A and B are shown apart, each in its own frame.
Chain A
Amino acid sequence: QKEVEQNSGPLSVPEGAIASLNCTYSDRGSQSFFWYRQYSGKSPELIMFIYSNGDKEDGRFTAQLNKASQYVSLLIRDSQPSDSATYLCAVFRYNQGGKLIFGQGTELSVKP
């Protein structure tokens, strides 16, 4: 079992719809959670981070964290074709020296 798991997709949504990306993690002690966007051939760029249970909103993006269930999600409202990319979930694992663990990414395709 991978420490951070994401559905690889591709996830296809029509333009204007809500895209929902999910991520589960195995280390119950994890405290820091990040969502990155990576366009094909480019490097990852940070979209959002979340530390506390609940929702965190930034423009069209909402990150949701549920530590009891060990999952973190990213909602993209009013999806645009420019949102088409791979979304990486990253979780900071404190034990064994501390390390940021990346999921394998979910490919999102927004159709016009």
Chain B
Amino acid sequence: EADIYQTPRYLVIGTGKKITLECSQTMGHDKMYWYQQDPGMELHLIHYSYGVNSTEKGDLSSESTVSRIRTEHFPLTLESARPSHTSQYLCASSERQEDEQYFGPGTRLTVT
């Protein structure tokens, strides 16, 4: 079973607040990913990292930022939350790019 964790699981926050969504994995995977998914819609890759100090933007433009200071930790930050950021955020990791990705439980964010 994959060991990848996300906190918080649910977050309701007001417009303009700064938030950080946490993601950590204990599998020693170099590759980590953030996806955004609205209900009933497809996954959109918003950020990925192939190792410490390496981060890239994904296919979907996002106002969020990420950092990768430690292998096991890949937090996502929104400097000023807006209602348009309301969505589910899923973190994933893999051993190699071409391997299966293991997903965390997700964070459901609501910005009021």
B75-112 vs A, CB cutoff 8 Å, 1 = contact: the mask equals: 00000000000000010001001111111111010000
Question: Is B52 in contact with chain A by the CB < 8 A criterion?
Answer: no
B42 contacts A103, CB within 8 Å?
Answer: yes
Tally chain B residues at the interface, Cβ within 8 Å: 18
Question: Is A71 in contact with chain B by the CB < 8 A criterion?
Answer: no
| B-chain residues with CB within 8 Å of residue A46 when the two chains form the complex | 100-102
Q: For residue A49, which residue of chain B has the nearest CB?
A: B100
| A-chain residues with CB within 8 Å of residue B43 when the two chains form the complex | 44, 88, 102
Contact A98 B42, CB 8 Å, known A43-B106, A46-B102: no
A46 vs B100: C-alpha distance when bound (angstroms): 8
Q: Which of A34, A41, A99 contacts B97 (CB 8 A)?
A: A99
| A-chain residues with CB within 8 Å of residue B100 when the two chains form the complex | 34, 46, 49
Question: Is A78 in contact with chain B by the CB < 8 A criterion?
Answer: no
Contact A43 B42, CB 8 Å, known A32-B99, A92-B98, A98-B98: no
Question: Is B45 in contact with chain A by the CB < 8 A criterion?
Answer: yes
Question: Is A104 in contact with chain B by the CB < 8 A criterion?
Answer: yes
| A-chain residues with CB within 8 Å of residue B97 when the two chains form the complex | 92, 98-100
Q: For residue A6, which residue of chain B has the nearest CB?
A: B42
B45 contacts A43, CB within 8 Å?
Answer: no
A43 contacts B98, CB within 8 Å?
Answer: no
| B-chain residues with CB within 8 Å of residue A41 when the two chains form the complex | 39, 108
Contact A105 B42, CB 8 Å, known A32-B99, A98-B98: yes
Q: For residue B99, which residue of chain A has the nearest CB?
A: A32
A99 contacts B45, CB within 8 Å?
Answer: yes
A10 vs B7: C-alpha distance when bound (angstroms): 32
A13 vs B90: C-alpha distance when bound (angstroms): 29
B101 contacts A100, CB within 8 Å?
Answer: yes
Binding site for B on A (CB under 8 A): 31-32, 34, 41-46, 49, 88, 90, 92, 94, 98-100, 102-105
Sample of 8 more A-B contacts, CB < 8 Å, known A34-B100, A46-B100, A100-B98 = A31-B98, A43-B104, A49-B100, A98-B98, A100-B97, A100-B101, A102-B43, A103-B42
